[in-house]
Each structure stands twice: as structure tokens, then as C-alpha cells.
Structure 1
Amino acid sequence: MQQSELPKCASKPKLTSIPSDITCVADYEALAKDYIDTPVYEYIAGGSGNEQSLRANIEAFQSVQLVNRLLVDCSAGTTATQLLGQSFRHPVLLAPVAYQKLVHPLGELETARAAEALDTCMVTSTLSSCTLEEIAQAHQGNRWFQLYFQVDRAHTLDLVRRAEAAGYSALMVTLDASIQASNRRAKRAGFQFPTAVRPENLQRYQPPQQVTLSTDQSVIFQGAMAEAPGWSDLEWLLANTSLPVLVKGVLHPNDAKQLAAMGVSGVVVSNHGGRALDGVPSAVHVLPQIRAALGKDVTVLADGGVRSGYDVFKLLALGADAVMVGRPLLYGLAVAGALGVAHILRMLRDELEVCMALTGCPTLQEIDRQCLWHSEQETNQHAHRD
């Protein structure tokens, strides 16, 4: 694909109704290959390194089993919840996914339409291919803004002020992707960004000057990491906004505790969808430790590999207050625009409600580790710790 070209998906007609044989997220993922140019699909579906973390995100859910309960009255059941003092119809959020015009000519505006229709919180990416202001106009419900620190603090502050002015009600700061890890699958497919798809939120800012390195300096340590944010940058941000701040990319309990001590309102347990450091564990594996480290008072979200409402339920049972989905929204967007994204959200919600009803949990507050099956060894270990 030449860099000046648009992805083929930009002109391919989308479905205007949902065929009856699309019954789950996996169906959209399979069908999306016919609606997305191959290099773009490989960029979206691929992960970093050997894709160990990408695979682990999916496989980890298979190791978690549910326990059904009998004769529980769920006639007054609800998925309503509170996050950061805000009311939500359900605990499924749309993750901050960049460059959505790669799969649809209207990009994030179509996703915003779906979020509006399904009462879903949309987290808008700093690297969105529509401006945060345009997206806010298309979605009047709960909306948060995902922030990447810019090299120039003035640019970071301007992004924050724009998000505040546009009515975003929380900031989600991504801190686990200071270096762009190699997506080998995209490279092999010859992926290049088309010039028509760009980070619209950053167009008003001058790009940072390129760092000149000597021959004995590292392009990683003295290059990319020289511009990476530090703890002082997060302290500065917390002092310069009244919005609640969540930090995305938390995998270590000690980091979680330090963030909470600094005044962060919440964390997102995430390995960046297997697109950052390869070989790290999935949210499924570390979420219980993060929740134990933070207690009940700090908001905890999780993402990575979620492909069904059953996966959503499992993350809630392991300690999450809410769950985000990323790649599935792109698959739905590619196939059927806003209709496809809305259908995926509807299926996730329906499957979550099925899990709640059959495990005897009419409300989200009743979902906990007692809803999961544990081996005799795990049960003895828990008893010993207690």
C-alpha cells in the first residue's frame, strides 16, 4: 500500500443490516478480514515481539471457570454501576483505540454514535483520527479522554484543557508504551500509514525536534526514553486538572500502590493489548494482586483479550469494577460502522447478563471470586492466606 493511498476499506460498502449468522464477537473478527485491507488488518490484529502476550490475553480466559447457582431471584437484576462518582448503565467501556479511520471513513464519529445509542462510555484516544471536540459533539453521554504525555508540557496541558472544555469527565493516562514496540506482522505485510489518517488532536502542535545522538549513545536509552514521562510529570498533571485521573498499563502491585498514594483515582490493569512489552502476563493473571494491593476504594478497570460477555464477567469476578474492549470495536466498525459497534456492545451486555443470572448475581456488586471455580490446591492456598 502506497503511503498516499487510503485503505481500501474507506470505499468498501458496509453492511446496513446484521445477518442472522453473526452471533458473537468472533464472527465479526472473522468477517472483518473481508472489509479491511490486509496490511491494515495485520497492523490491527498483530502484537509486539513474538506475540506471547497477545496470545496469553485470549488464552488466559480459558483457565477461568464459572460456578452456576440455583434458584436465585434475578427478576430485579441490573448492570448499573458507579465509577468515579459517575453513573453507568453497564460496566463495558470502549477502550481508547487510535486511528479508527483506518477501517471506516468516519472513524471515531461512527463509534461515538454507537456509544451514544448503547449508553456506553467511550474513551477517546489522543491519537484519534477525528478531533476530541468532534467526537464529543457526536456522543453526549459518559466520555473520557485518554492522554499521552507530549514532549512539550504546554501541549499536554492544552490537550487537558481541550478535554475539560469539551465535557470529558475523566482523564486516562497511558504510561506503558513509552517505546513503540515492533509489530512484526504489520511489517511483513508492508503496512504504512496513509497520509489521510493522522492524529488530528496533535495537528495544531509543532512536532518535537529530533534528538541527535552520538555513535556511542543508544536510540532506546538516550533516544526514545529520554522523552518518556516520569513520576514528576504525573504529579504535575494531577496538580493541573480537577478531573479524576486513571493510569492505564498497570501490572505491578507496587506501582498500583504508589499511584494510589499520589492521588490517582483509578488504574487500568492492561498490557496494551499485547502491543507493548511482549512476554508480560494478562490482566486475568495479575488483576487479583492489583485489587488486593489497592483494597476496595480505588477504581480498577481491566482490558486485554475480551471477546465475550463471559470474559467481562470473569474480569469483574477477579476484581475489576469495569472492563474495556478495543479490537472488537474496530472489527464491528469495519464491517457495519456504528451498527456493527452497537451490535457488539449489545452482545457483550446480553452475555454478561446471562452469566449474572446463571451464577446468581442480580447486581454487579454480588460478582466476586465465589463465582469462580477453584481447584482444591487453590482453595487450600486461599484458606492458608486467610
Structure 2
Amino acid sequence: MQPSLASIRERARVLLDGICRVCPVCDGWRCPSGVPGMGGIGTGAAFRNNIAALAAWQVNMRVLHDHKDQDLSLRLFGKRLAFPILGAAVAGARVNFQGRVSEEELARAFVLGAVEAGSLAFTGDGPLPELMDAGLKAIKAVGGRGIPVIKPWEDMEIMALIRRAEDAGAVAVGIDVDAAGLVNMTRAGQLVEPKTVEQIAKIAGATSLPLILKGVMTVADAEAAVEGGATAIVVSNHGGRALDHTPGTAAVLPEIAAAVGDKIIVLADGGVRSGVDVLKMLALGARAVLVGRPLAVAAIGGGAVGVRLQLEALADDLAVAMRLTGCGDLNDVSKGLLRPIHN
């Protein structure tokens, strides 16, 4: 008998006792811990800003139309996906989840669950080699349908890890450039650094894999990514875990998409909790979105099955939201669906 999302969340609540309360609304207000853990950095403002930035937009309902069936599919990085919702890179099981799930179990749940749902998941990196090892193993096990994200190490180390990603058959490779000052990394004495356009260009030119830069929050950085030859960016503040008091991603996404959207693939994450949130991100300029904390809860409570069920639930919710806003497919989604809330 297939478990329900409710039972999966209840099991996760027990397993994550003292780490995450698995709140009915995951908005950062009650997190008992920040970094490491599931919360945000410092005051947690950046995490909460992600939620607030999405809440600042309302959705215009439109129900007199002929779009009776919704097509959520898209092509991304050479793969056909069932819907524009991907698993974000969540790693560091020993540190963030106090070893209550192994790194291999976490990576496998994200990657396999996403593949079974018809999508893709990103995998993570960090101060312990087991993070990258587990991600690449999970990706290789599903024929390469996954995207490893590498920390901004020194260039030679990045290239060595990209070669491993190529060997695993990954569909793309990422660098989470906003990890240049992550607390977990600095506490571990690991050397990570900001990257110049020239460094990005050298890395992009040395691999046939699409290069994704994750952690772009300004037009200037987005334009630098284009200049450096990246294939895609992820508009992201690292789930509010990199720098305190950054704006929510939905607040900066429209200006970034307007500046570079035709030159590079724009993805986004941060605070997505429902299909309506997905619709908002798409309307604001994202090609697809990444989801982190909800999938982490699903993975810990239900493994790959939990991740699949959570992704499918988000996709079902998105389909309803599209039907009730007059959208037949993703090409119909535009900023005209949204109405800003003016305080």
C-alpha cells in the first residue's frame, strides 16, 4: 500500500525531532536551528523574505476559456520533463540532519524520486567528500538523469569534479557560486572563493556539459553569467542560508529575467511550497523552479517514494492553478497572470 504524504510528513517529524518541526507552513518563523540545520542564516530574514516575496503577488483567476487540458511538460538540458519542478540540491546529512539519514539515502531519494516523477534533481557538495560521492553515485544509477552542484573551490578542483560528473553521465553540472562564504564551509576550513567572468568562461569552455550558476541575485551577476558562457542561472539566495537580509528571490526575479531571459536559461528557487507558488515563479520569468525543504522532508519521511509523491502533488496543484488562470501550457504563463499587492 502506497503511503500518503500526510503519513510521510508525520514520520519525518519524528525523525527530525529537534531539527525541524515539519510545520504545516514552512516559512522560517519557528525553525529551532539555523545553519547547520534546516533554518536560515543569522536572523533567518533571508529565508522568510523568500516566502514574503511570493506572497506579495496575487493571482488573477480566469475561467471562461477553452483550455480544458493542461500540458506541463517542457524540454530542459536536452531532456523532456513532465513538469517544470525540479529537486534542489539538499546535502550534508551528517551535519544538517545529525546523521538520522545517510548521505547516500538522501541523494538516492532525491534523484530516484525525481526521475520516477518525470523530472530531475540537483545533488550537493560540501566539506565532506561523501556529499559529492553520494550524489554522483545516485546520478550514475539512474543513467545520468541528475545535476551535481559543485562548491566554488579553486578552479582545478572544480574541473576534477566536472570530469567525474561527465563520467557519471550527468545531464548538466552546476556551481553554487553563492557558497563562496557559507558558514559550513568556513567552519570546516575549506577554501571556496568568488569567481570572475574569466574563470567562469574557462570552466564553461572546458566541458561539453551545460554549466549552471546557482546563487544569482542581481542583474549584474546574471549578465556576468551570460558573458562567461554559462547555459543557465538559478536565481537563488541559497534558501536564505548564505547571507542574512537578502531579498526574496521572487522580488529580484523579474528584473533579472527581463535583462537576460533571452540569452540564458533562468531557473529560480526559494520559498516554493505549492503549485500556485510555481505558477508565480514562472510568471515572473523562470523557465522552471527548484524545491528544497519540502522535498527534504519527503525524502526523510518516505525516501524516493516520498520525493515522487511530493513532486507529483506540486505538479497536480500547478495544473489546477493553470486551469483556473486560463493557461493550457507553459507558453501561456506570463506576468499578466499576477497582480502585485500594494501596501
SS in 2 for 1:242: coil
Cα distance change, pair 95–125 in 1 and its aligned pair in 2 (3 A) = same
Q: 1:179 aligns with which of 181, 189, 214?
A: 181
Correspondence for 2:270: 304
TM-score by length of 2: 0.84
Q: How does 1:1-386 map to 2 (within 5 A)?
A: 17-19=2-4, 21=6, 28=9, 32-39=12-19, 42=33, 43-100=36-93, 102-105=99-102, 106-127=105-126, 128=131, 130-140=133-143, 142-151=145-154, 153-181=155-183, 227-374=193-340
The whole-number CA distance in structure 1 between the counterparts of 2:72 and 2:239 is 25
Per the normalisation by structure 1, the TM-score is 0.75
Shift in Å, 1:72: 1.9
Aligned length: 319
Q: Distance in 1 between matches of 2:278 and 2:289?
A: 6
**Aligned with 1:93: secondary structure?**
strand
Q: For the structure 1 residues 91 and 126, does the alpha-carbon distance in structure 2 shift closer, same or farther, using more than 3 Å as the test?
A: same
Unmatched runs of 5 consecutive residues or more in structure 1:
1-15, 184-191, 193-206, 211-222, 379-386
Structural RMSD (CA)? 2.7
The DSSP-based 3-state class of the residue aligned with 2:305 is helix
Q: Which segments of structure 1 move beyond 6 Å, counting only runs of 4 or more? A: none
Q: 1:182 to 1:49 in 2, by over 3 A?
A: farther
1:93/1:324 contact within 8 Å kept: yes
Report the secondary structure of 1:320's partner residue. coil
Q: Write the distance in 1 (CA, Å) between the matches of 2:160 and 2:305.
A: 33
Residue deviations 1:320-374 (CA, integer Å, cap 9, x gap): 0000001111101121222211111111001000101110101011101111124
Q: Aligned with 1:177: secondary structure?
A: helix
Is the contact made by 2:71 and 2:329 (CA closer than 8 Å) also made in structure 1?
Answer: yes
Q: Which moved more, 1:232-241 or 1:323-332?
A: 232-241
User: Do the aligned residues in 2 keep the contact of 1:179 with 1:224 (CA within 8 Å)?
Assistant: no
Aligned residues of 1:44 and 1:327 also touching (Cα < 8 A): no
Task: Name the SS for the 2:296 alignment partner.
Answer: helix
* Residue pair 1:109, 1:130 contacting (<8 A) in 2 also: no
Q: Distance in 1 between matches of 2:122 and 2:5?
A: 30
Name the larger-Rg structure: 1
Q: Does structure 1 retain, via aligned residues, the 8 Å contact 2:74–2:83?
A: yes
Check the 8 A contact 2:136/2:148 in 1, yes or no: no
Structure 2 segments unaligned to the other structure (5+ residues): 22-32
